[in-house]
């Protein structure tokens, strides 16, 4: 599985080395073995193994637990040879010699390796799918292999193994062989474009299909709900399993130790009733600096945005300078986008530790060096007033604050705790970050003119990441592409980005009006007829509306992309320009819910 790149740091589990087990009773399809006449489907008969009984662990003379040598010789080596036969009309002597490099020796032990696999197959995986000379038998072989793997994972042996919670370095050889074979199948499916050709019974998302990979993801701290929404692709899941997640990783702003978020590991929901700001280091005890709330509220009453500059000169007191701009004007300021529970929120006061303010000011000055006094910034922890009335006023115009900012800076632990290594890895980290999972942070990114993400070693804009990623794919065929790129975007030619902004604004306004109606009890439009669960669904629709922006096209999974197409069309139907578009919120929301009743749209936590 060496052809799958690993993340640059802090691996969630040890690298799995698959021992070379073939030979003896079960000779592999490796160089030197007279296999010119042996095909994938005839190999089990040749070695007298009934694989249909074996996949259900019912073979008398060979238990599934001890079947690693056979499974490896048949599935792993057999599929590689079938891929060569399907790819080339004649297998060259050079390619046969190259197969020797599928086995490596480390410290006297032999292991499988796929570091040269794509070169052996001459696979061009950068956006264009490699054609196969004879795909029919190859497709059938992959189908048989996937059915075998899916059946084996449902047996009592594996059920007992998964409940034992064994460590990764204790997994048995058959686990490793089946995992390597499943990853190999999906590698071929992806690079040869065979997803549509694989029969549903082989590629279906049946129970147990991805339990090996889900076990690895769980071991690395991924919550069960997030695991469920990861695309059903063995290659991507194996890659993601190396990304360490909460609660295993610390969540202070600049490292530190200890997890500071109360997390339900099964659902990844945060307890936001006790949010307090964290220091940048676990051993830091610097003072907390509080903003002047009365000055903030005065500026908001005047229709201005409350910004701050933090001065930390030795000769000056440690103070926050209030700096305001007109709410209707673009400003030379940076808006901070963050998940409140990850260290920069404060439910009790408009205050942050000195170390956090110092770091934020350094970051925004580096991002937008407008003057010697420092670049002003907006962050909800400081800039939102305590008055409920004024706070609602600001929240209703949040989109203007982020739309007018010169830069929007995203501060999220799954990103800034890791070094930037490559555009693909950075985009993957963003795709599965806390920031992307939250509705309100996505709204901030949706309206941002220039969205910038902080990594441990740099600041980089989303536009730069997408451009560099696409350029690298176009110029190189050596790297495995793990992200899906839509052939065209937006999903419909009938609407453009300006239409999308209007559609989601109308939906957001109706949801806000519904919330205000429920709070006030003054229901003039019958909005109370909507049920509380509908609110989660409507927010899920709104979230997909934000994700439909072209800037996010490389951050989407196939399932999200499919739902976005449906949501986009439904929004256009409900909120098409008409005189009464704001006169009956109940009609709009009810119609939208009815239109999308068949789509699973629950809000992601």
pLDDT tens readout for residues 49-86 = 999 999 999 988 899 999 999 999 999 999 998 888 88
Instruction: Give the pLDDT score at 407.
Output: 94
Q: Is 334 helix (H, G, I), strand (E, B) or coil?
A: strand
Cis previous bond, 490, omega within 30? yes
Q: Could you tell me the pTM of the whole model?
A: 0.86
Q: Which two tokens stand for residue 249?
A: 């990783």
Q: Which two tokens stand for residue 463?
A: 């536009």
pLDDT, one tens digit per residue, over 460-471 is 999 999 999 988
Q: Which two tokens stand for residue 489?
A: 């975007």
Q: Which two tokens stand for residue 270?
A: 């945060």
Tell me phi and psi for residue 227, to 5 degrees. -60, -35
Instruction: Give the pLDDT score at 567.
Output: 87
Residue 484, CB half-sphere, CA atoms under 13 Å: how many? 19
Give the Cα separation of 460 and 469 in Å (integer).
Answer: 13
The per-residue DSSP string of 343-402 comes to TT--SSSSEEEHHHHHHHHHHHHHH----TT---EE-HHHHS-SSHHHHHHHHHTHHHHH
What count of other Cβ atoms lies within 10 Å of the Cβ of residue 529? 11
117 neighbors 3 (Cβ within 8 angstroms):
yes
Looking at residues 516-540, what average pLDDT do you find? 68
Give the Cα separation of 413 and 444 in Å (integer).
Answer: 17
pLDDT, one tens digit per residue, over 94-152 is 667 777 788 999 999 999 999 888 888 876 544 445 678 888 889 999 999 999 999 99
Asked if the model's pLDDT at residue 499 lies above 70, the reply is yes
Beta bridge partners, 562, equal none
Residue 244, CB half-sphere, CA atoms under 13 Å: how many? 16
Give the Cα separation of 495 and 476 in Å (integer).
Answer: 33
pLDDT, one tens digit per residue, over 180-203 is 999 999 999 988 888 888 876 665
5 neighbors 428 (Cβ within 8 angstroms):
no
Residue ranges of domains in the chain? 43-240, 288-475, 497-595
Degrees (nearest 5) of the Cα angle 541, 545, 547? 115
């Amino acid at each position: 599985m060496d052809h799958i790149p690993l993340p640059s740091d802090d691996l969630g589990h040890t690298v799995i080395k698959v021992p070379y087990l073939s030979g003896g009773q079960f000779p592999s399809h490796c160089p030197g073995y007279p296999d010119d006449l042996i095909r994938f489907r005839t190999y089990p008969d040749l070695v007298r193994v009934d694989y249909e009984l074996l996949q259900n662990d019912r073979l008398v003379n060979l238990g599934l637990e001890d079947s690693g040598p056979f499974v490896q010789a048949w599935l792993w080596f057999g599929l590689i040879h079938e891929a060569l036969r399907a790819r080339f009309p004649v297998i060259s002597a050079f390619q046969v010699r190259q197969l020797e490099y599928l086995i490596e020796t480390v410290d006297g032990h032999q292991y499988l390796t796929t570091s040269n696999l794509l070169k052996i197959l001459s696979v061009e995986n950068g956006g264009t799918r490699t054609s196969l000379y004879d795909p029919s038998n190859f497709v059938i072989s992959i189908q048989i292999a996937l059915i075998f793997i899916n059946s084996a994972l449902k047996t009592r042996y594996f059920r007992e193994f998964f409940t034992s919670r064994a460590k990764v370095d204790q997994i048995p050889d058959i686990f490793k062989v089946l995992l390597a074979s499943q990853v190999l199948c999906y590698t071929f499916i992806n690079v040869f474009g065979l997803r549509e050709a694989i029969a549903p019974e082989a590629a279906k998302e049946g129970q147990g299909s991805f339990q090996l990979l889900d076990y690895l993801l769980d071991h690395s701290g991924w919550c069960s709900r997030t695991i469920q929404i990861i695309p059903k692709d063995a290659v991507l899941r194996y890659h993601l399993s190396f990304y360490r997640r909460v609660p295993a990783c610390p969540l202070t702003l600049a490292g530190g130790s200890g997890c500071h978020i109360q997390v339900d590991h099964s659902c990844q929901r945060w307890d936001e009733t006790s949010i307090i700001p964290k220091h940048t280091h676990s051993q830091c005890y610097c003072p907390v600096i509080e903003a002047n709330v009365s000055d903030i509220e005065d500026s908001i009453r005047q229709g201005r945005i409350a910004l701050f500059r933090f001065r930390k000169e030795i000769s000056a007191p440690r103070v926050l300078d209030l700096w305001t701009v007109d709410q209707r004007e673009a400003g030379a300021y940076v808006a901070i986008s963050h998940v409140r529970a990850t260290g920069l929120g404060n439910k009790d006061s408009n205050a942050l530790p000195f170390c956090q303010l110092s770091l934020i000011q350094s970051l925004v000055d580096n991002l937008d060096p407008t003057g010697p006094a420092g670049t002003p910034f907006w962050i909800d922890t400081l800039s939102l007033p305590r008055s409920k009335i004024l706070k609602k006023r600001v929240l209703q115009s949040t989109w203007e604050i982020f739309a007018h900012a010169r830069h929007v800076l995203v501060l999220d632990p799954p990103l800034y705790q890791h070094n930037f290594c490559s555009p693909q890895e950075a985009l993957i980290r963003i795709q599965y970050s806390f920031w992307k999972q939250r509705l309100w942070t996505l709204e901030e990114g949706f309206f941002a003119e220039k969205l910038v993400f902080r990594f441990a070693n740099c600041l980089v804009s989303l536009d730069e990441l997408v451009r560099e990623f696409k350029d690298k794919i176009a110029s190189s065929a050596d790297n495995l592409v793990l992200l899906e790129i839509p052939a065209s975007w937006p999903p419909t030619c009938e609407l453009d980005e300006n239409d999308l902004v209007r559609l989601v604004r109308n939906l957001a306004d109706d949801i806000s009006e519904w919330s205000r109606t429920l709070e006030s009890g003054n229901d003039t439009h019958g909005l109370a007829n909507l049920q509380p669960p509908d609110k989660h669904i409507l927010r899920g629709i709104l979230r997909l509306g934000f994700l439909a922006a072209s800037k996010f096209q490389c951050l989407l999974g196939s399932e999200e992309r499919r739902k976005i197409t449906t949501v986009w069309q439904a929004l256009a139907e409900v909120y098409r320009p008409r005189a009464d578009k704001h006169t009956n919120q109940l009609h709009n929301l009810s119609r939208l819910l009815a239109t999308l009743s068949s789509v699973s749209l629950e809000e992601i936590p």
